[in-house]
Every structure is written in structure tokens, then in C-alpha cells.
Structure 1
């Protein structure tokens, strides 16, 4: 959770008042200004969000995979055909869109709880208080601010996670380099490595959209740790009319590198979490005696 906290601050901090430039500096700054509890702001909301998000994502992937495989076999006339990497990418994209849309309001308020300051107009006491406050003060549409870049970003992110993980596993099982395969199965360590590779590729490709999503979520929330820029009349808060406008203003005022602010803490968080999620899912299904696995 410390990485999540630092990540959110890095993504939205004011470029004209840089407080820290990296993960370690960010953690030290948060510790100094907000104490130990500051490192875990929004953790409860994050836990409440990740459980249904992961459940919906894996379930949706399995159902989408079955549907796509059925259509693919029917189209090719080959009843033994298997999913290609591209088809796995499509199934993963469908799962990501469904899971993101189902839990997006919780992700939105998690971002606000994480970056709220003492000067914030509303002090959110928790997820439900944040949800009710945003709904009351800004309307239901505010709960889906940044939804479009999130959905667009989740297509390559989740899609690549599933496609890379499954395709890499298949390749290792078929080629068996370095004798990694035993009894037609990969070890937990090897599967963790596959998951780490999938997480690294997916989050790197989709990361700019995550930055834009987080910034759009802060629009309309005065005194948050949001971005400001000079427009010839002094420094003013940035307002975005949409995803394209957010991209344009971010690159214009801060440069292309701003789209990758917080990439390091995001990698520290995402890569192991994706690897553990995939392996845990498969191991738990084995324990429960569920025969159908992701790759099936």
C-alpha cells in the first residue's frame, strides 16, 4: 500500500512545486508530513475494491475465453483448435473492461482518499463516506471521471497480462528450456516468473493512460494535490475537457516524461501482485478440485 500511496502522489503532484522525484523520496516525504498512517491512506478502500475486481476479472476471462474459443473452432472447423495469443488478448481485454466498469467508483474514491490533504474541502473518512460525499456534492457522473482512459488502458493492460502469461506458459511447456517442465507442469516459481513478465509488459504499455485517469479523477476537487500550470496569467489549476485534452496539456506543460510519473513504484506494486494473483488463482483452483484452469 505504501507504493500505491507514493504512486498516486507522483502522478498528480504539482510540477511547479516538486516535493519529491522518486519512490524513496516520496515515502520519506509522506512519512515526515503525515506519519506512518499516511503511508496507508486508502488501504481499506483498495482492499474492498481489489476483491470484487479480481473475482469479476478472472470469471469474465474464463467465460470470454470459452465463448471466443467456441466461435473460433466453429469458424475454422477445427474442434481441436486452441486460443491464439491474439484471441487471449481479446478475452483479457473483455475481462478487464467488465471488471474495471463494475468497480470503477471504488477506484475513483480510493484515488481521492489517497491524495487528500489537510486543505482538501472534504475530509473523506472512508470509502462509503467518500462515495456518498462525491455523489452528493458532484453528482453520479463524478464517480466515473476518468472512466474512458481507464477502459482504454485496461484493454492492453489486462489483455497483455493474460495473453503473455498464458502464451509464455504454453511456450515453456512445449519447448521445456532448462528442464523447467516436470510432469507436464510448471513449478510455482516458474509460473511466478511468467506472471512477473506479463505484469511488466502490461503495465508499461498502459501506464500513460493510468496517469491520465488519475488526473481526471481529481478534476473538480479543489485543493487536492493536483497539477497546476502557467498560462501567461499566472499559475492556474489544470482543467481537462476530456482524455485527449488531458494528454495534450500534460505533455505541453510537463513533457512526455510526465506520462510515466510514478512508473517505478507502480512496477514495484504491480509486477509481484500480478504474478501472485495468477499463481494463487491456479493453486486455489487445484486445491478446490476445479479442473478447468485459465489455460484450458
Structure 2
């Protein structure tokens, strides 16, 4: 009888234990289901905030962005745009207010996917590189070095640029066309269809190679310089810029401006070559780059090296930095507006992750 009581008690305890275990497993399963949903929602809200901020900041500096591209590709034998202020006044006089924002819709249309892919890729790449670095060094507390941040930023930039390159390519063409162009692209999708139909799929990726090479120093240096400057300031606190363990908005803007200036200066020649290669095969731009002498036939480039060689030979080394001034002028306000817009949208959406994290 006692034996039966022991068996029954043991069986009952076993059943209770099983029920408790099942309950705990169910709870863990529910938590495991909810956690990714919360994480995904948080990432999406942050990326939406970044996309809106990017669109607002790009729109604010759209006139300078368009002038930069026009300076990059204009015919050296028929100079129309001879500086920042003169160029903006010329666009206003010949095309009106809307001419200052031509191509901006296409530019903004690629901001959200580009930002989404770039920052998600940077997060994944930096996490993976940090894990490998800690495994190699055996130091679980190791942090990313500037070189490793450069690598993570380069990976993110290449992936994001490749994913949205066709939109960037047609944006360049829409930006360059004027009311006098014999042929008009009515919008981004019309331009994509037209280029694909008349020039083939490969035409959508003209200038891709210099873009890949250029994005390594540009995006990579942006991340590396920005985050390294922040870390250095937090550790050294020069001029008392750190308050309660945080950098002020002005200090963050200065870090971002420095990062953007370094990145764009190093990568700018490749951006010029990319734009020029994008115009190959399209003779209806506002200004068509031609060779020297009497020949007015548009230049053809067999590749990136050939484009570099012909540009320097026909126009000199300074041609590789055409449009750098308006591009530099727009860096600081673009970063400032993007930062303020992102913070505002982040608060509205309740996003709890910063783009730079």
C-alpha cells in the first residue's frame, strides 16, 4: 500500500514537473516569437525615420546637388555653369524654380531603400566583423577599430549602392536634361523602362565599377571617421564638449561634417567618372562631353581607366573635381537637416534605435 502511495506520489510529481516544464517552454516560445517582431518593428521605425530625414535633407540641398552633376558633365567647349552662384542663377533664369529641383524626386525615391539596406548592412557587417575580431584576439571586450569600421562601412556602401544603382543612374540623366533636350524622360520609371529597352540591362549599371571603388572610401570613411571622432571626444573630452557622458548636437554635427568632408574629397574623382560613364550612349543631355578640336562627337569610354585618361587629357586634372565646391557647401546643411529631421521623426514613431548605433 505504501509502495503504491510512493509510486502515485512520484507519478504526480512527475506530471506536475512535466506541466511546469511545458508551461515554461510555451512561455519561452511566446517570448521568442514576440522578440523578433519587436526587433523588426524597431528596426523598421528607425529606417523609416532615417529615410524621411534623408529625403528632407536631400530636398533642401537639391539645387546644389543638381548643379554639382551639371558641372561634372558639362561640355568644356561650351561652358554654361561657371561656379556655384553663377550656376544657380543660370538655372533659375533658364529653367525657373522647378529647374533647381529637377531629378530630386528620383533622388528621394531611392533614399529609403538605400538607407534601409546601407544601415542594416552596416549593423550586420560590424557585428560579424566584431565577432570575428574577438574570436581572433581572444578578447571578449574588444571593440571595433577605425580600420574595421572602415571595412564594415565599405561592405554596407557596396551592397546599398548596388541595390539602388539603376535609380541613381537614371537620376543623373533626368538631372542633366533640360527643356531644350530633344528627348525627355518623364520620370524615374519611364527612364528605367526606356534605358532598358533602348540600351539594354547593362546600361542601367554604367559607371558601376568606379561607384564600387568610390563607395569604399566614401561610406567607409564616413562611418569610420564619424564614430572614431565620437569615441575620441568621449574619451578625451577636448574643450569640455562632453556633458553627462553625451556629446552635444553641435559636436555631433561637427563630427559628421568632418567625416563627410574627408569621405567626399577622397572619393570625388570616382563620382565624376561615374557620372560621365552614365551619360555614354545618351546624346540628349543638357551638355554632352566632347573631345578636343573640331570634333563635337560625344566621347565614348571603353571603361573606367579610359574615362579617367580622356578626362585628364582633354580637360586637365582639375576636371576630376568639377562640382566639388557646391558638393562641399551642401555637406554641412545636409547633415544638420538630416540629424534634426531624424530625431523629430524618431520621436514621432517611437523608434528606440539611432541610425549611428
TM-score computed with the length of structure 2 as normaliser: 0.78
Decide whether aligned partners of structure 1 residues 69 and 14 sit closer, same or farther in structure 2, where only a CA change above 3 A counts: same
SS at match of 2:185: coil
Distance (whole Å) between structure 2 residues aligned to residue 93 and residue 8 of structure 1: 23
Q: CA RMSD in A?
A: 1.9
Distance (whole Å) between structure 2 residues aligned to residue 264 and residue 292 of structure 1: 30
Decide whether aligned partners of structure 1 residues 202 and 256 sit closer, same or farther in structure 2, where only a CA change above 3 A counts: same
Distance (whole Å) between structure 2 residues aligned to residue 160 and residue 282 of structure 1: 23
Aligned to 2:216: 155
Aligned to 2:134: 73
- Structure 1 residue 204 and structure 2 residue 257: aligned? no
- The counterpart of 1:92, out of the listed 153, 157, 177, is 153
- Structure 1 residue 31 and structure 2 residue 88: aligned? no
**Deviation digits for residues 85-129 of structure 1, max 9, x if unmatched?**
000000000010011001101100100001013453430111111
Q: Give the helix-richer structure, 1 or 2.
A: 2
Aligned ranges for residues 207-218 of structure 1 at < 5 Å?
Answer: 207-218=268-279
Distance (whole Å) between structure 2 residues aligned to residue 289 and residue 149 of structure 1: 35
Structure 1 or 2, whichever has the larger Rg, is 2
**Runs of 5+ unmatched residues, structure 2:** 1-61
**Deviation digits for residues 246-288 of structure 1, max 9, x if unmatched?**
0000000000000000001111223432455467667866884
SS at match of 2:101: coil
Is the 1:211–1:259 Cα contact (8 Å) retained in structure 2?
A: yes
- Structure 1 residue 226 and structure 2 residue 288: aligned? yes
Aligned ranges for residues 41-60 of structure 1 at < 5 Å?
Answer: 41-60=102-121
Is the 1:68–1:87 Cα contact (8 Å) retained in structure 2?
A: yes
Is the 2:214–2:271 Cα contact (8 Å) retained in structure 1?
A: yes
How many angstroms does 1:76 deviate by? 0.2
Aligned to 1:64: 125
How many angstroms does 1:226 deviate by? 2.0
Distance (whole Å) between structure 1 residues aligned to residue 280 and residue 251 of structure 2: 43
Aligned to 2:356: 294
Distance (whole Å) between structure 2 residues aligned to residue 93 and residue 175 of structure 1: 27
Which piece of structure 1 moves more, 248-257 or 134-143?
Answer: 134-143
- The counterpart of 2:173, out of the listed 105, 112, 122, is 112
Aligned ranges for residues 241-256 of structure 1 at < 5 Å?
Answer: 241-256=302-317
- The counterpart of 1:130, out of the listed 188, 191, 216, is 191
Distance (whole Å) between structure 1 residues aligned to residue 223 and residue 200 of structure 2: 35
- The counterpart of 1:269, out of the listed 325, 330, 352, is 330
Decide whether aligned partners of structure 1 residues 35 and 89 sit closer, same or farther in structure 2, where only a CA change above 3 A counts: same
Distance (whole Å) between structure 1 residues aligned to residue 344 and residue 125 of structure 2: 21
- The counterpart of 2:203, out of the listed 128, 142, 145, is 142
How many angstroms does 1:233 deviate by? 5.7
How many angstroms does 1:27 deviate by? 0.8
Distance (whole Å) between structure 2 residues aligned to residue 280 and residue 173 of structure 1: 24
Which piece of structure 1 moves more, 99-108 or 28-37?
Answer: 28-37
